[in-house]
Chains A and B, each alone.
Chain A
Amino acid sequence: NAGVTQTPKFRILKIGQSMTLQCTQDMNHNYMYWYRQDPGMGLKLIYYSVGAGITDKGEVPNGYNVSRSTTEDFPLRLELAAPSQTSVYFCASSTTLQAGSPLHFGNGTRLTVT
Chain B
Amino acid sequence: TQLLEQSPQFLSIQEGENLTVYCNSSSVFSSLQWYRQEPGEGPVLLVTVVTGGEVKKLKRLTFQFGDARKDSSLHITAAQPGDTGLYLCAAPPGRSNYQLIWGAGTKLIIKP
Interface band, chain B: 20 to 34
> Whole-angstrom distance between the alpha carbons of A34 and B4 in the complex?
20
Q: Main SS of the interface on chain B?
A: loop
Q: Size of chain A's interface in residues, with CB distance under 8 A?
A: 23
- Cα distance, A55 to B50, chains bound together (Å): 28
Contact across chains for A100 and B44 when beta carbons are under 8 A apart: no
On whether the beta carbons of B40 and A108 are closer than 8 Å, the reply is yes
- 6 cross-chain CB contacts under 8 A: A42-B88, A58-B99, A90-B42, A99-B96, A108-B41, A108-B42
Q: Is the CB of B98 within 8 A of A97?
A: yes
Give chain B's interface residues, CB within 8 Å of chain A.
4, 9, 30-31, 33, 40-45, 48, 50, 88, 90-92, 96-105
Docked-complex contact A59 and B99, CB < 8 angstroms: yes
Decide: A105 near B40, CB < 8 A? Known: A99-B99, A100-B33. Answer: no
Residues on B with beta carbons closer than 8 Å to the beta carbon of A40? 9, 104
